[in-house]
Structure 1
Amino acid sequence: MRLSLRTWEVRLGIVLVAFSVVIYSVKYLLLGDPENTYQYIFNALGFLPINVLLVTLILNQLLSVRAKRERLEKLNMVIGTFFSEVGTGLLTFLSNHDPRLAEVRQDLVVTNAWTPETFSAVRDRLRHHTCSVVIDDADLQGLCRYLTERRGFLLRLLENPVLMEHESFTDLLRAVFHLTEELERRGDFAGLPESDIAHLGGDIARVYGLLVGQWLGYMEYLQKNYPYLFSLAMRSNPFDETASPVVR
């Protein structure tokens, strides 16, 4: 690509080079001693590669940290939108049909008193919990309707390039979208064979397990960065039987 004199980078470069020429010319005219001027120029030129290297490394690191922070912020905004539109309602539905929820319910009632160590300990305990969901034909129909109505939203999320940097959330979206397709293509859930019900149960359990993990991570992020959003999330906790959006 040919450089244009109209670009600000080229104009800045010309100005800086001209400024250097003027400074050395003034030094030569006022102080004389051309040998000293030439020696200073070559000394400066000799140190220039090292100077560029140091500045590049430091600036590169600072810019990389800033860019990573900005990407993380955008990513968590997307995750928050997912839970607002789909995730929290889906988690409520699935947890209500989890026959083993009582084993871990208290572990998932997040409060302001939780520390990073608490979140880490809960994650460790959840690794030993098998996420399972027991649903009937009517439940499958309702789940299909819930996900199908949000299919467009899920598709738009999958198209967001920022999600490529968050593998676990991308896996969750793929699992949710796959479950949506599985349910949508059946249409009628009456009289499904046991083998097919078991297959759907596996897809639902996959979504449920990934969803719980992402929800816990998102709650930790909100507690650390956005207390007012965390307050509403606590009052909307799908695992807390006493949860209420009304502040008491």
Structure 2
Amino acid sequence: MRISLRTWEVRLGIVLVASSVAIYGVKYLLLGDVENTYQYIFNALGFLPINVLLVTLILNQLLSVRAKRDRLDKLNMVIGTFFSEVGTELLTILSDRDPNLPEIRHDLVVTNAWTPERFSAVRDRLRHHTCRVTVGAADLQELCRYLTERRGFLLRLLENPVLMEHESFTDLLRAVFHLTEELERRGDFAGLPASDVEHLAGDVERVYGRLIGEWLAYMEYLQRNYPYLFSLAMRSNPFDETASPVVR
């Protein structure tokens, strides 16, 4: 493959090499000591591999950190879109049917004062909390309608390649799609036997448990990085009975 002299890398290389030749040429003309000039050149060449190693390691680390931060920002932008379009309302629907919600409601009222330790403590408590959802035929019918209307959005979300790096959120989407498919396969919810309602309730609870965990992680991300977005999310908290988007 031919290297074009028009690329900035080639032009930069030519300029740097020419600058080095010019500097050593000026040194020789002013001092007139060829042996000393050669010695200086070889000393510099001796340290060149070390310089390249250090610069490469540092630049690679800096670029890796920046790339990771950029991926995280893109990922959380997608997650934020999910909660804006589906997640927050779905969380409200499911939490309203959670008989055990009073046990954890206070722990999920996130504020500006929360520290990373507080978020970690709440996550630990959620791991030991049993997410229950009490649903009947009417609830399942309404949930089926809600998820079916948003199937297109969820499909486009799942196609986003950045989600491949977020296993827990991808698991949430899989659980949501599985629940949607289960509900769509039913015809008359009023005629379902108790065993099938119990099966569907288990699918709902799977979505609910994963949804709470992802919501809490997203709230922590917003609090740390985007205070203005966190403010609205805090005022729209589905677990806060006093929450209102109106600033008071």
Return the TM-score normalized by structure 1: 0.92
Corresponding residue for residue 201 of structure 1: 201
Corresponding residue for residue 151 of structure 1: 151
Query: 1:48 offset after TM fit, Å?
Result: 0.6
Corresponding residue for residue 178 of structure 2: 178
Mapped to 2, the partners of 1:57 and 1:120 lie a distance apart of 33
Corresponding residue for residue 19 of structure 2: 19
Structure 1 residues 144-188: Cα deviation after superposition (integer angstroms, max 9, x where no partner):
111111112111221222222222112112211222222223344
Query: 1:64 offset after TM fit, Å?
Result: 1.2
Mapped to 2, the partners of 1:96 and 1:39 lie a distance apart of 80
Corresponding residue for residue 112 of structure 2: 112
Mapped to 2, the partners of 1:126 and 1:143 lie a distance apart of 24
Q: 1:188 to 1:20 in 2, by over 3 A?
A: farther
Mapped to 2, the partners of 1:182 and 1:18 lie a distance apart of 70
Corresponding residue for residue 224 of structure 1: 224
Q: 1:182 to 1:2 in 2, by over 3 A?
A: farther
Query: 1:5 offset after TM fit, Å?
Result: 2.4
Mapped to 1, the partners of 2:34 and 2:219 lie a distance apart of 68
Structure 1 residues 89-112: Cα deviation after superposition (integer angstroms, max 9, x where no partner):
000000011111121111112223
Do residues 69 (structure 1) and 69 (structure 2) align? yes
Mapped to 2, the partners of 1:41 and 1:185 lie a distance apart of 78
Corresponding residue for residue 42 of structure 1: 42
Query: 1:2 offset after TM fit, Å?
Result: 4.5
Mapped to 2, the partners of 1:87 and 1:81 lie a distance apart of 9
Return the TM-score normalized by structure 2: 0.92
Mapped to 2, the partners of 1:22 and 1:233 lie a distance apart of 61
AA in 1 matched with 2:175: A
Do residues 55 (structure 1) and 42 (structure 2) align? no
Mapped to 1, the partners of 2:210 and 2:39 lie a distance apart of 66
AA in 2 matched with 1:228: Y
State how many pairs are aligned. Answer: 248
- What SS does structure 2 have at the residue aligned with 1:237? coil
AA in 1 matched with 2:128: H
Structure 1 residues 65-105: Cα deviation after superposition (integer angstroms, max 9, x where no partner):
12212221222221111111010000000001111112111
Corresponding residue for residue 30 of structure 1: 30
Q: Pairwise mapping of residues 97-136 of structure 1 onto structure 2 (< 5 A)? A: 97-136=97-136
- What SS does structure 2 have at the residue aligned with 1:3? coil
Query: 1:131 offset after TM fit, Å?
Result: 0.7
Query: 1:231 offset after TM fit, Å?
Result: 2.0
- What SS does structure 1 have at the residue aligned with 2:239? coil
Mapped to 1, the partners of 2:3 and 2:168 lie a distance apart of 42
- What SS does structure 2 have at the residue aligned with 1:190? helix
Query: 1:115 offset after TM fit, Å?
Result: 2.1
AA in 1 matched with 2:133: V
Unaligned 5+ residue runs, structure 1? none
Query: 1:189 offset after TM fit, Å?
Result: 2.4
Unaligned 5+ residue runs, structure 2? none
Structure 1's consecutive aligned runs of 4 or more residues displaced over 4 angstroms after TM superposition are: none
Query: 1:213 offset after TM fit, Å?
Result: 0.7
Q: Which moved further from structure 2: 83-92 or 60-69?
A: 60-69
Q: Contact conserved, 2:136 with 2:197, CA < 8 A, in 1?
A: no
Mapped to 1, the partners of 2:177 and 2:217 lie a distance apart of 21
